[in-house]
Amino acid sequence: MLSRKKEIPEQLNERLATSGLRFTPQRQQVYNVLLDTRDHPTAEEVFLRAKHESPDISMATVYNCLDALVTCGLVRQVNVNRAATRYCPNMNDHCHFYCDDCGKVLDVNCTSAGPVAGAKVPSGFQVTHYELSLRGHCPDCAAKAAKLHH
């Protein structure tokens, strides 16, 4: 990685442009952090990871960049209980599993109709968004717990 030219990724650039936003190195950096490790980091965690590559980036900028990425539809916010908001670059229809033991947040596939169909929404209600979060024990932690009981 000796030459680091201005290779602006067109996909990010275009998406930003459609929302009237500019491409900036900070936005690129923040987006890369999210794509790099898809573990639903908080803004704080994104900040720490981004600082490795760009030591001068500020927390405010991380919030601003995350906001820009959400606005242009490349990233979504994930809220579990009232903990700090997490960020997810997977824009496919999915929901989230939160492990009460290790705290990991994992993607779970579900079709758009899926969870909403499971709810008995009375007629007259227009559902435009939904958010389903699941909590419990992830396979790893469930296995560990099983071992402790022999």
Partner DNA sequence: CTTCAGCTTAGAATAATTCTAAGTATTGAC
Partner DNA sequence: GTCAATACTTAGAATTATTCTAAGCTGAAG
Residues that bind DNA (CB under 7 A): 16, 20-22, 24-27, 42-44, 56-61, 63-65, 67-68, 82-85
Query: At 97, which helix (H) or strand (E)?
Result: strand 94-99
101 forms part of the interface with Zn ion (CB under 5 A)? yes
**Interaction partner, residue 63 (Zn ion, Mn ion, DNA, none; CB < 5-8 Å by kind):** DNA
DSSP-assigned letters across all residues of 34-85 = HHH--S--BHHHHHHHHHHH-TT--HHHHHHHHHHHHHTTS-EEE--TTSPP
Identify the residue whose tokens are 């022999």: 150
Choice between 52 and 135, CB closer to Zn ion? 135
Please report, as a single letter, which amino acid is at residue 115.
P
Choose one: 16-24, 29-37, 43-51, 75-83; the region binding a second copy (CB under 8 A). Answer: 75-83
State how far the Cα of 63 lies from the Cα of 86, in Å rounded to an integer. Answer: 11
Interaction of residue 141 with Zn ion, rule CB under 5 A: yes
Which of 70, 71, 95, 107: binder of Mn ion (CB under 5 A)? Answer: 107
Cβ closest to a second copy, residue 18 vs residue 81: 81
